[in-house]
Structure 1
Amino acid sequence: MTGADLRSGIELSEARQAIAGARRVVVKIGSSALTSLAGGLDTVRLDRLADAVEARMRAGSDVVVVSSGAIGAGIAPLGLTTRPRDLATKQAAASVGQLALAHAWGTSFARYRRTVGQVLLSADDFSRREHHRNAQRTLDRLRSLGAVAVVNENDTVATEEIRFGDNDRLAALVAHLIGADALVLLSDVAGLYDGDPRKGDAALIPEVRSSADLDGVIAGTGGVLGTGGMASKLSAARLAADAGMPVLLAAAADAAVALTAGTVGTAFAARPVRLSARKFWVRHAADSRGALLLDEGAVQAVAHRRRSLLAAGIVGVRGRFSGGDVVDLVAPDERVVARGIVEYDSTELTGVLGRSTGELPDTMQRPVIHADDLVSV
């Protein structure tokens, strides 16, 4: 499905201008744009996508590709007829497909005498600061050497507990990692619609400037070959907006226009004030090690008034964690309303739940989570 070109009769938004002029761009390509159940990798479509990326690079931009399709590329060679559901078969398909995918990207960019470097990442690489720095250095060096970094999730070893869940989120985290100026999400959908476009009566939403533009929008889940869907793309767009970059969601068939004029699909504006690197890490990259259950007063304080969390507002502790870990803050209705870096071990907190600061020992006079280490979700 391709999208209408929006140049006729409208003024390009600030977000689209920023995307068109971005110096560093992350381009995420969905499984459905590269593979099919019957035939595996579609090298004709992959070549067209490589052409669009090369054109953007020759125009002066640094481009990192986040490529889905490893599992999809391994389905046909293994004689499978459906996308596997069990973890072991997914990992087996990925082990075959990653090799094929990397070779296909390498062959395609070789037409331009361009070298490709494969970078496989897991969620753990973003939650651990040393791994985070190593990945950043690798991507930066590949770009400085004129190579194309093709990033994928390390599906052969990722488990359900540590995986990203979809490559849309991976792409947004990579964009933050390299300090990208824009994120482009390419898949089999032409953009964000106000309904199901397959039913024929849905309208494309060309711009999302704030959450108000999403009122009434119902986001679906993934398709046959992918794990994402519109819900994951909206989540990735929000993540990128937190990092201060605009996002373009467009059809892979429109890649050439998306990576030049940016006049197709749906453009998401960056938030006016980006999250600090520390708060971005707390909200999006760090693993949660446990949870603190809050009363309604504490929910109002931390989620709406941006106050520090005190022991008096905590009614329960879940999990085992240490001081310095990231934990979820849970409202009485079980909603996760915030995340933060906790000051104390779970065993320490268990004995002081609901107590005012004046009742606490001298060693626990600091807030349980300081406001500077809190971020609402």
Structure 2
Amino acid sequence: MSSRSEIASAHRVVVKIGSSSLTGPDGHLDLTALRALVDVLAARRAGGGQVVLVTSGAIAAGIGPLGLASRPRDLATAQATASVGQGMLVARYTEAFAGHGLRVGQVLLTAEDTVRRGHYRNAQRSLERLLDLGVVPIVNENDAVATDEIRFGDNDRLAALVSHLVRADAMVLLTDVDGLYDGPPSRPGTRRIAEVRSAADIEGVEVTGRGSAVGTGGMLTKLESVSIATGTGIPVVLTKAQNAAAALAGDAVGTWFAATGRRTTRRRLWLAHAARTRGRLVLDDGAVTAVQGGRASLLPAGVTAVEGEFDAGDPVELVTADGRVVARGLVAFESRDIPDLLGRSTGELRAELGEGYDREVVHRDDLVLVRKRAR
């Protein structure tokens, strides 16, 4: 049976730390906290392990130097603050890791780098090469150019995607609370949940989406991150930053989440969690049942409508008649060609339109089911 010992024995670990854990009450970067984290990660490296650090804190680090009273709300000021803060953040990490004889490499990503498959592959190759060279990759969202359209949620979701990109053996989420509670931690009588082996273990747990004053991710984004990681075979520990060493040692701190799924290909993870879909295919009830069975391709006969404009090879959503998303897939036809195929069998299409039109709309190898997100 899986246990916390998986964290202690993991060779490659992704560690994510949030803004609130790196920033003091005055808005400045907390160098003591940063150096304490680096000491822990350097010890892991000295023991033969590999570490990828996903760090927030660029905007928070820029608040103090720019004399701002709080985290900026408008996009332009947030981008400017991140530009100032990112340089400070990486300089401090570089200095701290150098004290242990370790080099770091900065990797700044935007959501666009994950929604476009070519960018996604490039990020994966870059991270793998840094690890091969003995470098500690320091990953952050590129807040200086990011837009409000798609955000990673204080890097929680980004950490899960990076964990899969580098084939991590475990992920540790460091935040300002010491684990997942069965209600608001400030409420008397609530208790920390030590282990989660399945979604049933946290059924009915009350969480909110609100994060700290300097961060953008709350417990909801963390549970979504956990769901992505555990669903693809990666165990997770969620705890406060002060427990980093204990968490990596497999001690009973925070909340440990068992891996619930199996490893999948990077392409399937990209399609399930990172790809930006270009349109929708509406399925009849029979096609929904077949697709959810996990072994069937989507044939033209099961499609009742097409929404949006897309090219062959683009990601699309597969939805029920009432709009519920059941899967994502790479479509084999352009959107303009599909209306002529709707509801028709492959035999009819071959006879009338010729070979090439009798293929699957979405092949089963290019299709992933959409799991319900944590709430």
> Given the two structures, how large is their TM-score scaled by the length of structure 2?
0.91
Aligned to 2:134: 146
Change (3 A) 1:98 1:343: same
Q: Secondary structure at the match of 1:193?
A: coil
- Amino acid in the other structure paired with 1:112: H
Report whether the alignment pairs 1:258 with 2:247: yes
Q: Secondary structure at the match of 2:239?
A: strand
In 1, are the aligned partners of 2:63 and 2:71 still within 8 Å (CA)?
A: yes
Q: Deviations over 1:112-169 (max 9, x none)?
A: 2322221111223234444334333332333333332111011111222354344111
Aligned-pair identity (%): 56
Aligned to 1:331: 320
Q: Secondary structure at the match of 1:366?
A: coil
Aligned to 2:218: 229
Aligned to 2:257: 268
- Amino acid in the other structure paired with 2:330: I
Q: Secondary structure at the match of 1:40?
A: coil
Structure 1 residue 273, shift from structure 2 partner: 2.7
Q: How many angstroms apart in 2 are the aligned matches of 1:364 and 1:133?
A: 30
Structure 1 residue 50, shift from structure 2 partner: 1.0
Aligned to 2:363: 370
Aligned to 2:49: 61
In 1, are the aligned partners of 2:165 and 2:266 still within 8 Å (CA)?
A: no
Q: How many residues align structurally?
A: 365
Q: Secondary structure at the match of 2:102?
A: coil
Q: Deviations over 1:163-186 (max 9, x none)?
A: 434411111111111111111100
Structure 1 residue 194, shift from structure 2 partner: 1.5
Structure 1 residue 306, shift from structure 2 partner: 4.1
- Amino acid in the other structure paired with 1:301: A
In 2, are the aligned partners of 1:289 and 1:326 still within 8 Å (CA)?
A: yes
Q: How many angstroms apart in 1 are the aligned matches of 2:362 and 2:265?
A: 17
Q: How many angstroms apart in 1 are the aligned matches of 2:116 and 2:73?
A: 28
2:189 to 172, 182, 201: 201
Aligned to 1:96: 84
Structure 1 residue 63, shift from structure 2 partner: 0.5
Report whether the alignment pairs 1:286 with 2:270: no
In 2, are the aligned partners of 1:37 and 1:72 still within 8 Å (CA)?
A: no
Q: How many angstroms apart in 2 are the aligned matches of 1:181 and 1:29?
A: 18
Segment drifting more, 124-133 vs 277-286: 124-133
In 1, are the aligned partners of 2:6 and 2:250 still within 8 Å (CA)?
A: no
Q: Secondary structure at the match of 1:244?
A: coil
Q: Secondary structure at the match of 1:186?
A: strand
Report whether the alignment pairs 1:345 with 2:338: no
- Structure 1 runs of 4+ off > 4 angstroms? none
In 2, are the aligned partners of 1:338 and 1:375 still within 8 Å (CA)?
A: yes
In 2, are the aligned partners of 1:36 and 1:72 still within 8 Å (CA)?
A: no
The CA RMSD measured in Å over matched residues stands at 2.0
Structure 2 residue ranges without an equivalent (≥5): 371-375
Equivalence map 1:145-164=2 (5 Å): 145-164=133-152
Structure 1 residue ranges without an equivalent (≥5): 1-12
Q: How many angstroms apart in 2 are the aligned matches of 1:294 and 1:131?
A: 31
Q: How many angstroms apart in 2 are the aligned matches of 1:366 and 1:166?
A: 42
Change (3 A) 1:131 1:239: same
Structure 1 residue 31, shift from structure 2 partner: 0.8
Aligned to 1:8: none
Aligned to 2:95: 107
Aligned to 1:308: 297
Structure 1 residue 340, shift from structure 2 partner: 0.7
